[in-house]
Structure 1
Amino acid sequence: MLLGARKIRWRLRRQHLSLSYTPSIKLNFHSLSQPKVESDDFLPWLERKAGAEISSALSIGKSAYGTSLFASKSITAGDCVLKVPYRVDSRWAPYIRWLPRPEEMHCTIFWSDDELELIRQSSVYQETINQRSQIKKEFLAIRTALKNFPEMSKSITYKDFMHAYALVDFAVTSRAWGSMKGYSLIPFADFLNHDGTSESLVLSDNDKHFSEVIADRNYAPGEQVLIRYGKFSNATLLLDYGFTLSSNIHDQVEIQVNIPHHDVLREMKWELLKRHHRPISNDVNGFDSSMDSFTIKEVRSGSGKGKGIPQSLRAFARVLCCASPQELSDLAKEAAEHDGRLARRPLINSSREIEAHQMLLSKLTQLADDCDASIKSLGPISSPVTCERLSIRRQMAQDLLNGELRILKSASAWLRNYCDTLTTTDCYR
């Protein structure tokens, strides 16, 4: 049976406003120059370990963006470009030499504080802070454990530990593929770079015990061979992989909404939401919080059903706009009489329905304005006084924010049209 799935790290991505809203550089691989081959020992070594040929169509090399795999001969769509037996095992020195060095890694944990300010508007900012905090805790724990071995502990710096942590942690989260037996690293295959539009995947045949990649198009010798890691947003690509795409069709935005503390019906509303299976969020101290997070995707139709805006978010807004216990009771009764889902249908009171969606529109518009301001504050992507690293990371920040702005604008446009339609309908009644 052939299975193929890149491992996904699931995280809570939040935009920090209250509702009180209180969610690349484009790797233009095809234009890269010929690969710079620094060593040709890895593939022969791996094939000796496997006791079988891995690939006669690919060679490993260094591109402008790190280790890559290039066509060593003409490849035709449908060709098997590599096949890695499951039995390949240890003694990884030649492999480790090809892993990225710190200066080659653009995952946001390696960004300076000033560079992180470029993406403060995105949820990736806070996730990076949280990730750094976790790495720091683990580093201090190791230092404490090694206090009886001063010679060893002195040689371990935080910078070295972060690099090692990233290699190990990201090896599991961004370099692993799934099969029926779980997740595993597939040497050589993990040097393939990502193209979000590619149909090529790493496939695992659990019956024949090998993993393989089938080309989805033709490649000329020297051209970089690409696969699709998964349907990942730029937020995931930047945080876990260290790159972005300029037009990522899988972009999304995580937003967080809450019930204002001054709302006299706050407890009743939250109890109603919890009773109808809305997940309970916890704050940093582990206490229940009257907040919820929702993932917004691009709304591709201005007059359709708003696919991309979660129905659960619209339901949350309808509950928030209830002004009396009776309105809340009516929503609970409606849910019980139908499919059990709360406020999934438009409110009977059209004025209240408009109010709920205008509230969402106001907050998404504010988020879009903030995101637009952040993009404009980036300044020139490159200039004579800008170092190459900062230029690359500015481009990544722009790709990330542009994608989130596109999502927010599409959702705002749909909500605006929805409210206008309801208002017009009311006028003709």
Structure 2
Amino acid sequence: MIGRCSYYYRASFSCATRLNFSTCSLTKSVCIHDEDCGDFLPWLRRKSGTDISSFLSIGNSSTYGRYLFASKCIYTGDSILKVPCSVDSEWAPYISRLPRLGELNSTIFWSNDDLEMIEKSSIYEETIRHNIQIEEDFLALKPALQHFPSFFQEVTLKEFRHAYGLVSSRAWTSMKGVSMIPFADFLNHDGISEADVLCDETKQLSEVIADRDYAPGDQVMIRYGKFSNRTLLLDFGFTLADNVYEQVQIKLDIPHHDPLRSMKMDLLCQHSTPVLEDDNAFSSCGNSFMIKQVKLGSRKGRGIPQALRAFARVICSTSSQELSDLAIEAAKTDGRLARQPLQDKDKELQAHQFLLSRINQLIENHDVAMESLAVPSSPCMSNKHSLRRKLARDLLNGELVVLKSAGAWLKNYCDSL
């Protein structure tokens, strides 16, 4: 079994491109020692030849799984964890402490019924693409696995997806590649923390420096990244009720019946809107944009990408002369297309009303989805499905906040023209 798990990890490493750790976020709680992990730190100390941490202990919760808490006072600037790079993830005492099959809640493990709850969010399509990629990877590897039946036994897609989820949520990328970091991946996420896992190539170790003081019994946390709930849910299987890094993906298309469609597409290509890469490293074409929350009273609408507003101006152009004028204007400036308000206020109003209508449609869709999730849980509903309903509500509610802020700004902008 150890060789089997280890192979899954090596096979999946290419899919993990950043620091991804545990699968839920916790605030301070009553910390209960994990008796099953009593031998884990002594084993890790023997394996690494050094003390990993004298500050941290392992706790366990039936609701949230394993986490780390302070076993004594920690002060800002203390080095609370050091894991030598020589420590590999192939040993049973580490693997046996990772979440088991069925215990992960990232959306790649959701059923079709579960996924319907988040169909109005872009994470729905991302999850489908992610699962297609996982299945393709599995089918590519399967012939190699079948060459060693006595060693790998019968590897199923379900088991491969589980291994993929473990690695993609817990792998750290350094200059020397991707690796698992035992013990460090018990640290849970705090969106406002400034602590991170640092990789010191000179010392050949990974280290965590405390960003605040902790009293004995406090849970010690780090920040995985400045991630939206969409990323947290897809990669880690949890959400934050009030995520300051929330964002929403919006996609615009030039209608196929538009007589100027070909000319508009050529123009956009020549003055290419940058190909986007979101939190999950999904590349999207130039008609996808990330909206962040727009602060009340914002004059420039920061949070609504200028490239999105430019795209709307191009879409709403109705003559080849207008498109030529946009191309000439871009050539005279920095090459970026339609980044300034149109001189024709009626056209500028039309472009932003188009955006507002698209935002309002997304708001309406999210409102309907939220209403369906507000129905009380059925007594026969499983705990897992109930948890995923809560995750779906957090996701959609956070996106609603962003969409409504963008809609309010666009309405004010239109009213001012």
- The match for 1:14 is none
Would you say 1:417 and 2:412 are equivalent positions? yes
- The match for 2:252 is 257
- The match for 1:43 is 41
- The match for 1:406 is 401
| 410 and 261 in structure 1: CA distance in 2 versus 1, 3 angstrom threshold | same
| 175 and 152 in structure 1: CA distance in 2 versus 1, 3 angstrom threshold | closer
**Aligned equivalent of 1:339, options 334, 342, 356:** 334
- Structure 2 CA distance, aligned partners of 1:399 and 1:238? 10
Where relative contact order (Cα < 8 A, 6+ residues apart) is larger, the structure is 1
Asked if the contact 2:352–2:414 (Cα under 8 Å) also holds between the matched residues in 1, the reply is yes
Percent identity, aligned pairs only, is 58
- The match for 1:57 is 55
1:184 shift after superposition: 3.5
> Pairwise CA RMSD of aligned residues?
2.6
| Gaps in structure 2 of 5+ consecutive residues | 1-15, 277-283
1:146 shift after superposition: 5.3
- Structure 1 CA distance, aligned partners of 2:321 and 2:134? 50
Which deviates the most, 158-167 or 136-145?
136-145
- The match for 2:231 is 236
1:9 shift after superposition: 9.1
Question: Could you report, residue by residue, the CA deviation over 1:377-398 in whole angstroms, capped at 9, with x for unpaired residues?
Answer: 1134656443221111111001
1:151 shift after superposition: 6.9
| 265 and 372 in structure 1: CA distance in 2 versus 1, 3 angstrom threshold | same
2:324 corresponds to which letter in structure 1? S
2:57 corresponds to which letter in structure 1? S
1:225 shift after superposition: 0.8
1:136 shift after superposition: 2.6
| 381 and 213 in structure 1: CA distance in 2 versus 1, 3 angstrom threshold | farther
Asked if the contact 1:200–1:214 (Cα under 8 Å) also holds between the matched residues in 2, the reply is yes
For normalisation by structure 1, the TM-score amounts to 0.84
- Structure 2 CA distance, aligned partners of 1:308 and 1:26? 27
Question: Could you report, residue by residue, the CA deviation over 1:46-99 in whole angstroms, capped at 9, with x for unpaired residues?
Answer: 111221111011112322312211212222232221122233346521110111
| 371 and 91 in structure 1: CA distance in 2 versus 1, 3 angstrom threshold | closer
- The match for 1:311 is 306
- Structure 2 CA distance, aligned partners of 1:75 and 1:163? 35
Corresponding residue SS for 1:248: coil
**Aligned equivalent of 1:269, options 264, 277, 294:** 264
| Gaps in structure 1 of 5+ consecutive residues | 1-5, 11-24, 282-288, 423-429
Corresponding residue SS for 2:288: strand
Which deviates the most, 247-256 or 65-74?
65-74
| 177 and 47 in structure 1: CA distance in 2 versus 1, 3 angstrom threshold | same
**Equivalent residues in 2 for 1:19-418 (5 A)?**
27-63=25-61, 64-89=63-88, 91-145=90-144, 155-168=154-167, 170=168, 174-279=169-274, 292-380=287-375, 382=377, 384-418=379-413
Question: Which 4+ stretches in 1 moved above 6 angstroms?
Answer: 148-154
1:179 shift after superposition: 4.0
- Structure 1 CA distance, aligned partners of 2:150 and 2:38? 36
Which deviates the most, 108-117 or 37-46?
37-46
Which deviates the most, 145-154 or 97-106?
145-154
1:161 shift after superposition: 2.5
- Structure 2 CA distance, aligned partners of 1:200 and 1:299? 27
1:210 shift after superposition: 2.5
Asked if the contact 2:53–2:81 (Cα under 8 Å) also holds between the matched residues in 1, the reply is yes
1:180 shift after superposition: 4.5
- Structure 1 CA distance, aligned partners of 2:213 and 2:179? 28
| 336 and 74 in structure 1: CA distance in 2 versus 1, 3 angstrom threshold | same
1:368 shift after superposition: 0.7
Corresponding residue SS for 2:207: strand
- Structure 2 CA distance, aligned partners of 1:142 and 1:180? 26
Asked if the contact 1:81–1:213 (Cα under 8 Å) also holds between the matched residues in 2, the reply is yes
Asked if the contact 1:253–1:407 (Cα under 8 Å) also holds between the matched residues in 2, the reply is yes
Asked if the contact 2:83–2:207 (Cα under 8 Å) also holds between the matched residues in 1, the reply is yes
